[in-house]
Structure 1
Amino acid sequence: MSHAHSFDESTWPFRAPINTASFTTIRVLDASLPILEVYHDHDGDWQFMCGTTNASEDAKVVCLGCMVERDPTLVQLADLPDGWMAYRESPEHPWSREEYEDSDAENEA
């Protein structure tokens, strides 16, 4: 189901559509913790994490556009390649980027 966002959707910078399913944590959704880690998975999925949990019971599926609406600095990461992550110490700090290993591929070996 489609829904509106408060930003100008005509300037969407991501290759993925605005309504792409992405992953986050309950702590990000309830606004108790900021997004400090972003993963653009090797398979193209996006994860927006608080850095405190990756437990499956804390995971939530959300619209990519809703995450950008929650934290507009995420548009700075629209060109983050698959298999890369971005991180910062706090919302006041700039994003740093680096490539990361695919843990699923390691588990298949």
Structure 2
Amino acid sequence: MSHSNAFEESAWPFDAAINAASFTTKYVLDGSLPILEVYHDHDGDWQFMCGTTNASADAKVVCLGCMIDCDPTLVQLADLPEGWLAHRESPAQPWARESYEDSDAANEA
């Protein structure tokens, strides 16, 4: 099923496609919690999390463009390298960035 997003596709800043799958929580999608953690996984996937849950029952898969529609400040993270995360205390605070270790690689060691 095709759908549109609120921004101009010609201005898309991410390397991933607008309709690329990304991960979030049901609380972010229903608007009850803000996005406070963003992970650009080592495999290139994006996760937009509320910081309260990582339970699979709370997980949702949505297109990357819909996440940007949900929170336009995420455009600031388009250049976040793979294997890095960004976090903030509240939506009014700036994003802080840092690298993180690939948990899959750590489990293989």
TM-score normalised to the size of structure 2? 0.97
In structure 2, how many angstroms separate the alpha carbons of the residues matched to 1:59 and 1:105?
Answer: 23
Q: String of CA shifts for 1:14-55, please: whole Å, max 9, x gaps.
A: 000000000000110111000000000000000000000001
Which position in structure 2 is the counterpart of 1:19?
Answer: 19
Please say if 1:59 is aligned against 2:24.
no
Which position in structure 1 is the counterpart of 2:106?
Answer: 106
CA drift of 1:106 comes to: 1.1
Question: Which letter does structure 2 place at the counterpart of 1:95?
Answer: W
Which position in structure 2 is the counterpart of 1:94?
Answer: 94
What percent identity do the matched residue pairs reach?
A: 79
What's the secondary structure of 1:48's corresponding residue? Answer: strand
| Number of equivalences | 109
Partners of 1:2 and 1:19 within 8 A in 2: no
In structure 2, how many angstroms separate the alpha carbons of the residues matched to 1:52 and 1:10?
Answer: 34
Root-mean-square deviation (Å) = 0.7
Q: Which runs of 5+ in 2 are unaligned?
A: none
Question: Which letter does structure 2 place at the counterpart of 1:50?
Answer: C
CA drift of 1:94 comes to: 0.4
Q: String of CA shifts for 1:37-85, please: whole Å, max 9, x gaps.
A: 0000000000000000001111100000000000000000000000000
